[in-house]
Structure 1
Amino acid sequence: MRLRRAARLAPALALLLLTVSCTGSLGVQGTPGAAGVRDPYFPRLGNGGYDVRHYRLALDYDPDSGRLSGVAEITARATQDLSAFNLDFHGMTVESARVDGDRARVNRAGDELTLRPRDDIEEGAQFHAVVRYSGVPRTITDPDGSEEGWLRTSGGGALAVGEPSGSMAWFPGNHHPSDKATYDIEVTVPEGLTAVSNGDHFNRSTRDGRTTFFWQAAQPMASYLATVAIGRYETLDARTAGALPVHTAVAAALADDPETKELLARVPELTQWGTDTFGPYPFLSSGAIVVASDDVGYALETQTRPVFPQEQFDVHTVVHELAHQWFGNSVSPKSWQDIWLNEGFATYAEWLWREEQEGVPLEESFQAAFQADANWAFPPAEPPSAEDVSGDPVYGRGAMVLYQVREAVGAEVFDGIVRGWAETYRHGNASTADFTRYAEEESGEDLSQVWDVWLYGDEKPSELP
């Protein structure tokens, strides 16, 4: 009897062993994570099935050839049982990929890189992926026609800028603002060049004529805010009145320009103004990179290291990009439809600066924005297309929404809403619905008329309120 019973169990045991070998652990029946998070404007950006906790990027750049060699180490947590998962990656060649130390199969379809680990990953489990890649990074043309990604600059340098999707041109990842992570970024370049990135610079080492710079962003960051600037930079360390470290870098060719030097010296003052106005600075350090005007045609709020071309390095633009450190960087949008929360707050910060420092009343800035027809092309919370997420209404009319909330609840209550919003959603993500609910809860007011007319309304009011 025992022999016959064992014989009957043998097929079942074989099936059990086969199941374990195929799924990696008993009971895990994974499915592939989604390719894209269905963003209203960029549906293919981001990926489902996991949450990135940390990126460690090791980059080696050759200015002569423009070739970049990289290793991206990604620590993530599975949000479902995973048999495979995707990374957003544009261009370059993937040389190998591993998941939890084992070689993973790799498939490529356009900007979607699919990794299939040897064993399925159980929901809730932390896993570690390593992707090695190389090639000449490509630029990406945005829907509005601007260029981003990895841009080669004068003097043998490079500048990486990523809003909304350019970061996938220089490292594979989950490139949607809803998935924020911390970063370690090390960049190796020929001796004599400097590599500046996000967060805090904590080390450098030189060997065989090449220097490696080590940077660490210890607070969560959306991938579109990651940056690397390579070139001949002069750096300056200073502190705000509140003792916050401020690290600035200026292209050597611009370092002796009197206006540039004067404004660089004011960065600690401007950062302190933001702290006094919006609450504690969200990150460990702040700073600005100034690049030659032919390298990039726009300023960008890259986290802790806003980027400015010389032609846009003025006090109002600096105030705008520094305000983003609170609104857009620390409090990031849940989707690109919420981008007015970034730009509306930053534009409103310019209005505040003009009132407090230049004597231009808030009402005057509001009236100028109200009269500009371009601000009425569409509602700021509902851009009609991906091309419009950086359109005038997102900025100007976004700031008008905030002004109208201030008018409805009073200046003191509104200032509390602004500071409380930055604190409540610090290092997180928030949507338009989160903001409208928060403003009404904190003020105790029904603000539906403000939302209907200024945030979602299609028509310009016939006259100023």
Structure 2
Amino acid sequence: MRRPLHHPRRTTTALAAAVVSAVVLTTVPASAATGGPGVGDPYFPDDGNPGYDVTHYDVRIGYDPARTDRLDGDTTVTARALTSLDRFSLDLKGFTVSSVAVNGTSAKTFSRAGAHKLVVTPARPVAKGTTFTVRVKYAGKPDAEGWHTLKSGGAYVTGEPHSATSWYPANDHPSDKATFALTATVPDGWKAIGNGLPGPETVENGRRTFRWSEDSPMATYASTVAIDRFTVHRGKTAAGTPVITAYSPDAKIDPAAEAQQTEILDFLTTKFGPYPFSSAGAIVVGATKEPTGGPLALETQSRPTYGSTLFDASVVHENTHQWFGDSVSFEDWRDGCVAECFAQYAGQLWEEHKGSDLDTDFYRSEVEDYRNDPSFWSVKLYDPGPGRELDSALYFKGSLMLHALRRTVGDEAFFTTLRTWTHDHAYGNASFRQFEALAAKVSGKDLKGFFAAWVDGTVIPPEKYLYPGSLAGSAADAGAAGGATGRAR
């Protein structure tokens, strides 16, 4: 099976841990005073806590690449109580927690539960509607689900659905987005790169402290830190957005690919609307110590992370996520199409920009390639099922669905829908069901049958939805279209 350019990090161990965690936490009764053991995501019910809404993370870490078994953390979470809380939980994997304070006062108790819960009982209950802070000090070896070490000696964070809890305590679910500040102290000679814009650097006793700030709400899995002896290049988009690109010592620096990164960002704004964040760029890491080579590219907010080098297809995909997935995030893990369907189709838009005929080079040839392959059509694009939340169907079947939608409603309605979507839901969460409603509203068309066939169907769509508008034609005509010169794998 062809693999997506953007490869989520998932392991059977992680899935097993999630199941064990859910079982263990049934011993901690949910109530209005605890916020419950998880937000109730259909695929990851143990993730997060529904009793509060995080508004800001202030993450402070110290890390010495000579000691990969230890990270020192001091994180303050600012949140608003959605119910009265005499106890609540944060998500954190591993580490030894030395202290927890709520609103500046030591917690009455704190303990660990399940695979990744830090359960906190404050000295005084937190009243509904109030803003409160939780400061957690911790140390130990970061969890390998999100924290990856490099052969160069450095480390970086990526992972989806989970990575944040490998290095700081969080309300770890995409529905609870928050602004983010990072302070990372490393030995002098090393650099720490994060999300957003850089702040002042300071040096003391042979250690250098880096500061980064992301002022737009961010899903926890999109947060990152990368530590290495980076070479850092700076530029700007046509609109003046700072572009900061960092390369590990063994990563390839390709000036042409770096220039194309800015070209791609400028192109995407013509399709999706203004770039949503205060900075852009890339973190290009080198070889990892992991036998599998570590995760491939991921859409870490404002500054996607890539392995070894930049190339156009991956840069298009991950930067499209800045609009679809990062700025407009999904409500729960049933809704990966909100991110992946659009990011994959953007690769085709880039090919079209470079002269490809998508009807011929992409759509018809792909449909005919898979017409007689039931497995290709068998996965639903919404709610594909636990363990399939980032299935390759969201990439390949999903991108075909969007092109068929474009030909159904026409270019003007299609691109108006995309720009309206990114504007109306900017920095928030939305479901693909809402996108379906918006597409129908903008186009003035009844699209129920189309989306039922493409999004909820598990067989190849009927011909009227498979070949709508200018795509209409016989299977024989489509087969005669030839090879797929515009594909990017």
TM-score by length of 2: 0.84
Q: What does residue 62 of structure 2 align with?
A: 60
Give unmatched runs, 5+ long, in structure 1.
Answer: 1-28, 141-148
Query: How far off its partner does 1:254 sit?
Result: 2.8
- Alpha-carbon distance change, 241 to 232 in structure 1, aligned in 2, over 3 angstroms: same
- 2: CA distance, partners of 1:236 / 1:68: 27
- 2: CA distance, partners of 1:47 / 1:210: 36
Is the aligned partner of 1:274 residue 2:274?
Answer: no
- Count of residue pairs brought into register by the alignment: 424
- 1: CA distance, partners of 2:246 / 2:213: 17
- 1: CA distance, partners of 2:248 / 2:320: 23
The one of 310, 333, 353 aligned to 1:336: 333
- 2: CA distance, partners of 1:445 / 1:30: 44
- 1: CA distance, partners of 2:205 / 2:416: 55
Q: What does residue 286 of structure 1 align with?
A: 280
Give unmatched runs, 5+ long, in structure 2.
Answer: 1-30, 468-489
Q: Could you list the per-position Cα deviations for residues 79-102 of structure 1 after superposition, in whole angstroms to 9, with x for gaps in the alignment?
A: 011111110111111110000011
Q: What does residue 259 of structure 2 align with?
A: 265
- 2: CA distance, partners of 1:363 / 1:421: 28
Verify the 8 A CA contact 1:45 1:165 in the aligned structure 2: no
Matches within 5 A, 1:218-233: 218-233=215-230
Secondary structure, counterpart of 1:120 in structure 2: coil
Matches within 5 A, 1:37-52: 37-52=39-54
CA RMSD in angstroms comes to 1.6
Query: How far off its partner does 1:30 sit?
Result: 6.5
Query: How far off its partner does 1:57 sit?
Result: 0.3
Query: How far off its partner does 1:152 sit?
Result: 1.2
- Alpha-carbon distance change, 369 to 172 in structure 1, aligned in 2, over 3 angstroms: farther
Secondary structure, counterpart of 1:82 in structure 2: coil
Q: Could you list the per-position Cα deviations for residues 374-433 of structure 1 after superposition, in whole angstroms to 9, with x for gaps in the alignment?
A: 5323111121322x1221111111222222221221111111000110000000000122
- 1: CA distance, partners of 2:137 / 2:240: 40
Matches within 5 A, 1:303-342: 303-310=301-308, 313-342=310-339
The one of 77, 80, 89 aligned to 1:86: 89
Q: Which moved more, 1:218-227 or 1:293-302?
A: 293-302
Q: What does residue 392 of structure 1 align with?
A: 392
Secondary structure, counterpart of 1:121 in structure 2: coil
Q: What does residue 13 of structure 1 align with?
A: none
Q: What does residue 16 of structure 2 align with?
A: none
- 1: CA distance, partners of 2:157 / 2:127: 35
| Amino acid paired to 2:376 | N
| Amino acid paired to 1:298 | L
- 2: CA distance, partners of 1:41 / 1:236: 40
Secondary structure, counterpart of 1:75 in structure 2: strand
- Alpha-carbon distance change, 153 to 316 in structure 1, aligned in 2, over 3 angstroms: same
Q: What percent identity do the matched residue pairs reach? A: 39
Q: Could you list the per-position Cα deviations for residues 181-211 of structure 1 after superposition, in whole angstroms to 9, with x for gaps in the alignment?
A: 0000011111111100000012111111111
Q: Could you list the per-position Cα deviations for residues 205-263 of structure 1 after superposition, in whole angstroms to 9, with x for gaps in the alignment?
A: 111111110000000000000011100111111011222211111112235x5xx3321
Query: How far off its partner does 1:297 sit?
Result: 3.4
Secondary structure, counterpart of 2:55 in structure 1: strand
- 1: CA distance, partners of 2:180 / 2:46: 23
Bigger CA radius of gyration: 1
Q: Could you list the per-position Cα deviations for residues 266-294 of structure 1 after superposition, in whole angstroms to 9, with x for gaps in the alignment?
A: 22111111112210100001011111144
Verify the 8 A CA contact 1:89 1:169 in the aligned structure 2: yes
Secondary structure, counterpart of 1:288 in structure 2: strand
- 1: CA distance, partners of 2:243 / 2:227: 19
Verify the 8 A CA contact 1:36 1:44 in the aligned structure 2: yes
- 2: CA distance, partners of 1:82 / 1:442: 43
Verify the 8 A CA contact 1:369 1:375 in the aligned structure 2: no
TM-score by length of 1: 0.88
Q: Which has the higher contact order (CA 8 A, sep 6+)?
A: 2
| Amino acid paired to 2:77 | I
Verify the 8 A CA contact 2:86 2:122 in the aligned structure 1: yes
| Amino acid paired to 2:118 | L
- 1: CA distance, partners of 2:178 / 2:364: 40
- Alpha-carbon distance change, 30 to 331 in structure 1, aligned in 2, over 3 angstroms: closer
Q: What does residue 122 of structure 1 align with?
A: 127
| Amino acid paired to 2:438 | Y
Q: What does residue 98 of structure 2 align with?
A: 95
